[in-house]
A = this chain, B = another copy of it.
Amino acid sequence: MLSPPGNLFDSDSRSAGQTLGKEDFAVLVDSPHVKVERIVSNGDASPPGFWYDQPWAEWVAVLAGSAGLAFENEPEVMVLRVGDHILIPPRKRHRVEWTDKRCATIWLAVHYPGPSQSLPI
């Protein structure tokens, strides 16, 4: 039996009232081989000094809003706007410098094992 479609822009699971500083995570696919997540940010940024340091690869796209991603040893913050997508290799340390304060920023992230990794992620 098929499940009915969900919607990536649905506000049902977003943080009530689009409160600044509240991120909303929804796992859309959860398998040993891949995780697909929708993340809704409302002006959120990573805490000062915090870096994501993931052993797996992540492909991420911005579907609404905009964001600035910083990468270790890269001098410039990468600005991502609607439709932009990027591949973050395993162990590439990165942080969210900023997300749009005027509207929700909706991310779609696909996490999967890098070439030399074992499952599950």
Copies in the assembly, this chain: 2
Chain B neighbourhood of A53, CB < 8 A: none
- Say which size band chain A's interface belongs to: 35 or more
Distance between A3 CB and nearest chain B CB, rounded to angstroms: 6
Tell me which of B9, B31, B86 contacts A112 (CB under 8 A): B31
Chain A interfacial positions (CB closer than 8 Å to B): 2-10, 28-29, 31-34, 36, 57, 59, 61, 63, 71, 74, 78, 80, 82-89, 92, 108, 110, 112-115, 119
Q: Distance (Å) between the CB of A24 and the closest chain B CB?
A: 15
B108 engages A2 (CB within 8 Å): no
Given contacts A28-B85, A61-B108, 13 further A-B contacts (CB under 8 A): A2-B74, A2-B88, A5-B78, A7-B83, A28-B59, A29-B59, A29-B112, A31-B57, A33-B119, A36-B110, A63-B63, A108-B108, A110-B110
Q: How far is the CB of A33 from chain B (nearest CB, A)?
A: 5
Known contacts being A36-B59, A63-B63, A112-B34, is A83 close to B8, with CB within 8 Å? yes
